[in-house]
Each structure stands twice: as structure tokens, then as C-alpha cells.
Structure 1
């Protein structure tokens, strides 16, 4: 049995059921800042929040900021103007990452300058990192957009290597319009343990950047999730789904140390004429901490088009010392996310659809042994298990599953239904309890299968 088959079999046994049951849209009440409007309680959300996301208030200053626990996911709000503050309590050894996913209303008008900025600051307000993501270069159709801030232990920023309280600051960027409203916001936190021994701190070795051979497998039906937490697992192969204009699908691909991931998304043709939908199809790749690594956006004239990601380096710890964000982001083994969006204005020019999209995924490269970490990632569900690491969790976090939940959320799970497997529809009703020990063993077996060489 080859690596692809072994990996997928293990992933189906231990991961696919949980991912499938949360693919429905999850809506909730946005938390508004004092004096600022919140998104209407009954307004449908174009994004599925993690089902265990906790509502947290967005503060206007560091003094009132709510604490974000490691490995948790939160739902908050992002006002039209002004900074919003949250708090992190960190040790002096772990790298910390915070993803902020902003979700405009489905009918919001966005421009290329619109987006969000996230920064992590020390107790004195000094910058540890900042990142801005906008709709520039992609579809000007309203959809979720993600930026990631981090506190990285580095000799270049000694003030950010201290234990203590740090601020996470999120704000909207770009021009505003009179009708703009508060956006929903999903926050997820991640901790990376230190290495047992400090290794090289130089740029990674050269790698083959030639485009890989295209995957020619016959597509299988596989509908994606509606958010990061409900991303549907896929391996190497071709996966077909239907999208309606304005819809976004999320998939996750387990990528091991030393492996490359490459993907394309094909939009089927229709009745082509002189009409054009600008930025109709968008394909993007995100790291296990949800940082955007690459994207491609194409116009649509009713004829088949294919969005293609640029070749990326194999997953290596040393990539963090690379020259670009694309290289630096390939620093973890774990779940990488493929996100496909079909612009809402496709409906105005070519009809309501649905439209057929085929995702083709290739995994290549030789498996490697990961670095020797001195602890476990938090949450463990989105990273490769660290075999033989000391027991216990890093300070301030739980070992939540893929949705970012903590220990009490991970002790048991009831599976209600799974549908859309392969060409037909299968509905399974499974009642059971998965203990924390069993889930950890499952994750280890999944990654162990991935490390076995192909037969």
C-alpha cells in the first residue's frame, strides 16, 4: 500500500467524521464594541465558525483586553474604524501565532484596499510582528480574509522573548463607505514549542521550483467545508464539487516534513460570450496557523479556466529563515488549507449556477524526520504529533482538536451524520465516545502512516 492510500485510510478513520459533521454554516451573535453596531443576529454568515468558538468582547484598549487562551478559537467583531485589543499571556520559550479571520457580510461591497491588519505587541507597546491582508490581487467579492500575527523567539527582538502579557491588535484597513457595518471576526491561537537543541538559523537549502506534473486522476465528489474548522480532508488526487456564486469552500491537506504540496482549481465552462467576471475564481493556500502563503485569481468569460498555485518549498523547520513569507510559512508539518472562492458577481453575468470546480492536489518530495521539539504543539489536532515529546501541555493551553477546542471539549464527541462520500451519498449514524487518549493515539497513527515510504 502506497503512502497516499495509507494516509487517506488513516485520515478517514480518525479525522473525516468530525470534519464532515460541521460543514453546515454556523451563525451566532456578534459581540459589538460599546456604541458600535453589531451584525444583525439573524443575518446569515457566509462563513462557518468553529462550533466551540467562544464569544469574546473586542476592547478599545490594552487595559480592558480579554485573554485569549492557547489552542482556543473565539468569535468577536471588527468595527469599521478603530483598534480592537486582546491579550496573550506567554512564556519565554514558545513561538505564538494568532490568526484573525474577518468575515464581511455576504452582500458587502469591498475594494482592493479593504482588509485587516493584525499586530502583536509587548507590554510596552513595542511591535513583535504585524501583517496586513487585503482583497488586492484577488476577487472583489465579499468573503472571509485572514491575517496572522506572531510572537517569535528571536535574537533580533529580545524584548519579544520575555515571559509576560502581550497585546493582539486587530483593525480594518482601506477606505470606508457610509453603509459599512461591523464585520464578524474569528480568532485562533497556536503555540509552537522550542527545540530540544538549537539548530541552524540560516536560510533553507535550495529546492526544485519546477512545476510538478499535473494530477490526471478521475475526479471524485468531495464537497468542501465552509470554514477552517470544518475544512474537509483530502489527499493527493482530484476532487470535484459544485459552487454557487459567492460561496467559499475549505479543504485541508496533511503535509509531512520534507513534502511539497501543489494544487490547481478548474472552473468548468458554460455559455461563453463577450461578458467577463473579473476575479471570478480564487484559489489560496494557508499554513497550519492559517497564514496565507499563495493565491491565484482569474477572470471568467464562460470558458474553462484553471487557477494554479506557484511551486512552494518542501516543509522544513529552516524555512522560517527564508527570504519571503511564502517560504517562511512552510515551517510546520500539519494540515495545510486550500480555499476556493467563486465571486458573487458571476451570477450577474452567467447565472446562479451551481458551477463545477475541480481541485487537483499533488503531494511530492521525500519524507523526513521532523526536528526534535521539547514539547507539544497547541492545539495538537492541526500539527503533526511530536513523537516522544515530554508529557503535558505548554503553559496556558489545552490540546484541542481541529476546531481549536480545549481539553473538556476534546474528551468526547458524538458523530451525527456524514454525507457526500464518493459518487453517491452515504448517511451514517454513529454514537460513541472518543477519549483524549484514543484521539492522541489516532493522530499519531495518521502521521506515522504518512511517514512510511511508498511501496
Structure 2
């Protein structure tokens, strides 16, 4: 449906339907990226096909190019809600600037994407720090390849958390994001692409508890009921496939990563495991399967990369996590700090390329088991919009339908089109009814005038000329 040239108050649609309908139709005349609705229907998001093409990492749609500086004096600014693309070589440092107020929590993440066939060392790392004007680290985290020393996307994040009991990193002003890459001499020298995000979380209207819960259910629940269902994973955080509680099957190739996302609300706990299916042949691969859970701002929550593979089925289960609570951020344990908010939690599953060398280059069976335990609790009283730190009905629907972020956005847009279509149809029907009534009344007046003219001579002719019957819609349509 192409409506771009007919939109606006002076266009045909603008003259035929109500303003609200015009707004809805014109809003989808072009979808993100400049494509019209029919063009976008067959277009992949972010340059890659969603739903698990098995190809290269799909960077976020609308990503902005940026070049980090070597010093804070030259650091380019990151805007909240935006996604940026940069690159970093071994031993290099990239610095960016944030301008923060004195009331908002701030988060910055960096996803490093090495070439799939590049060489990495288990100690190679990506480090993200957020520093104040005096060089003090508000927080810092790094991501390493660990025992599963093969190339795959890794991510780390840093944050500025407002805390009434702290005297550091609480002032308004400039802050600096420092992204560092540490690589061994034996690692591939090629630059790693970077995907950088900056998000803000509003403060609370009223301060609440500052202690994480001491008791919570730590026993893994039974396997989800309902049997396995197929769902292909995405290639990145951007096109990660939505999952709900259940057992899900997929296929994964050696050297590739699959991304999934699960909505986890306040007060809920997420349990996740991944099984690698059996295969014929003899061989052995240590650290064959790497499974990592990330929070809504790409911070590592839990990981497992020590699963070895000898051709028999193997399972990797993430450690039990505490319920998602706002006060978790005030604890010192990483699994508490990183389950500090509701939203989409991301699961990345990567298969060691050595599996292909030992057992054949082919897709291998992958089974995910997801449990989301607990009744959703009330959200904290944010002094503003929660943004990505919430789970909406639309999020739940997207997870149930297996949609990625771009697919869910497109689906929501098309629902708007459908609603607008219904509204437009109603307006047109009412218009046609009005048109018919006007035509009938005009015809009646004409017939009356004709009858009067039989006894009035030229008066009938004058009446007929001044009141003709309309055989089309009113001119104002």
C-alpha cells in the first residue's frame, strides 16, 4: 500500500477521512529506513535477515558511525537511546563523553564483534569503564573469552548509579566512557567492530529499600511442560528472537552464535539451560558450547563455557538467579547487581568451530529450556518513563510470537494500519450514507419543483437550474 503521495490535508486521503485516520495511514507510508510499507515487508532488518539466518552479526538498524578519541579532551558525545558503531584494535582505547544530570542512572555497553574466523586468546578482553572528571571509575566491567577461546560477540557495560550513601559520581556534568581491548600477540590483529549503546533510567519518586533480598528460591524448577517447539535464533542483540517459558529447538552451526530474548518482569526469576544434541563420529572438544545471559543493557548476568563434547548430548545450565528487584543494585554480588531491572534479558549461545573439525561442518541440534518463575510485582515508582526497563503487554506478545525487536515494531505498525483501515472504512461508509441521503433529498426537491412547475410556468425552470440533483460525493470530500 503506497499512500505517501496522497497524505496530508490537501491530498485525497486527507479530504476523504478523519484527521486521526490520516495520521495513522501517513505514519506508515514509509517505515524505518525510508522504505514504503510494501517495500519493507520483504526487507531484512539491519542488513541481515531476522529469525536466525546463521550469518554475520546484524548491527542495529539506524546505527550511527562514530570514532572514539584517544583522550578525554577530544571525546565525542553519546546521546541516550542511540546506538553507535566503531572499531577497536588490539591494545587500543576508545573514549566517549556523556553529559549527565544529578538524578538519573546511566548505562553504556559495548559489544565487540571479532571476525568469525579470527584467532583469540582466552585472556583477550573487552573492558568498559565509566569515569568522572577526576578519573574515578563509577563502575567498570570486562568480558573475556575464557576457556571457550574462539571468536564470538562479547559484551560488557558500565553504569553511573545514583546512591544517597555515596559521594562519588553523583554530580551533574561530563563523564567519560573508556572502552579498552586487551589482546595477546598470538591473537588476530584485525580490528573488532563495536556496537555501543547508551541508556538512561529515571530516578525514583521516593527512595525505597537499599538491601537485596537475603532469601529467594535457588532450586531449579522442573522442565517446562508442553514439549519442544521450533524457533530459530537471531544473529545479534538487535534481531534476537523472542522466547517465553517452554522448550525450544533450533539448529546451530560451528563457529556461529544464536541470540534469543526473554521478557523478565519485576519479581520474576529466569532459569535457562541449553542442550547440544548428539552426533555421529569420534572426537573430543573442550569448551564446545558457550552460553551467556545478558541483562537489558548487555551486562553479563551469568555464563557457562566449560561444556565439553564427545558426540554425546551435553547440557549447560546457568546458575539460579535472584528475582529481579530494584534494590539488587545495592548488593555487591554481580548476579544481584546485574538483575537490577525488568526488561528483555538476552541469551547468546555459541558453538566452538572445533566441533565442525571433529564431527563435521553441519548444523547441530540445539534445545533451550526456559523457565520464568514468580508473579510479576509492581514496578518501582519511577519519576518518568521506564523505557526499556519494563515489560509491557506488547513485549509479552512479541515473545509469544517469537518476534525480534524489528519484527515486533513492524507488527505494531501494521496493527496501526489495520486499525486505521477499519476507521477509514467506517468513515467512508458514513460518508456514503450521507451522500445517499443528500442525493435523495436533492431528488425529492427536484421532483417537487418539477411538479410545481407544471402550474407555474418559468418558475420551474429557475428552480431546477438552482437546485440540481448531485450524482457524486459532496465537493468538500
Normalising by structure 1, we get a TM-score of 0.74
1:142-291 matched pairs, under 5 angstroms: 142-155=151-164, 157-177=166-186, 179-273=188-282, 275-291=283-299
Cα distance per residue 1:398-418 (max 9 Å; x no partner)? xxx957xxxxxxxx9767xxx
Q: Does 1:69 align with 2:79?
A: yes
CA separation in 2, counterparts of 1:107 and 1:202?
45
CA contact under 8 A between 2:128 and 2:142: conserved in structure 1?
yes
Cα distance per residue 1:44-95 (max 9 Å; x no partner)? 9831110111111121111111111101111111121221101111111111
User: Alignment partner of 2:87: what SS?
Assistant: strand
User: Which of residues 287, 290, 303 in structure 2 aligns to 1:295?
Assistant: 303
Unaligned regions of 5+ residues in structure 1, if any? 1-16, 27-43, 387-400, 404-411, 416-429, 439-455
Task: Sort the Cα spacing of 1:321 and 1:204 in 2 relative to 1 into closer, same or farther, 3 A.
Answer: farther
User: Which of residues 300, 308, 313 in structure 2 aligns to 1:304?
Assistant: 313
Q: Does 1:107 align with 2:114?
A: no
How far off is 1:345 after superposition?
1.4
How far off is 1:108 after superposition?
1.1
Q: Which has the higher helix share?
A: 2
CA contact under 8 A between 1:102 and 1:186: conserved in structure 2?
yes
User: Alignment partner of 1:99: what SS?
Assistant: strand
CA separation in 2, counterparts of 1:156 and 1:131?
22
Normalising by structure 2, we get a TM-score of 0.71
How far off is 1:289 after superposition?
1.0
User: Which of residues 29, 49, 54 in structure 1 aligns to 2:59?
Assistant: 49
CA contact under 8 A between 2:96 and 2:177: conserved in structure 1?
yes
Per the alignment, residue 383 of structure 1 pairs with: 390
CA separation in 1, counterparts of 2:215 and 2:187?
50
CA contact under 8 A between 1:413 and 1:433: conserved in structure 2?
no
Per the alignment, residue 141 of structure 2 pairs with: 131
Q: Does 1:79 align with 2:89?
A: yes
Q: Does 1:351 align with 2:374?
A: no
CA separation in 2, counterparts of 1:357 and 1:23?
25
Unaligned regions of 5+ residues in structure 2, if any? 1-39, 394-403, 421-477
Aligned residues: 364
| Higher RCO (CA 8 Å, separation ≥ 6 residues) | 1
Cα distance per residue 1:171-204 (max 9 Å; x no partner)? 1124233741111000011111101100121232
How far off is 1:322 after superposition?
2.3
Over the residues paired in the alignment, what is the CA RMSD in angstroms?
2.8
CA separation in 2, counterparts of 1:303 and 1:45?
26
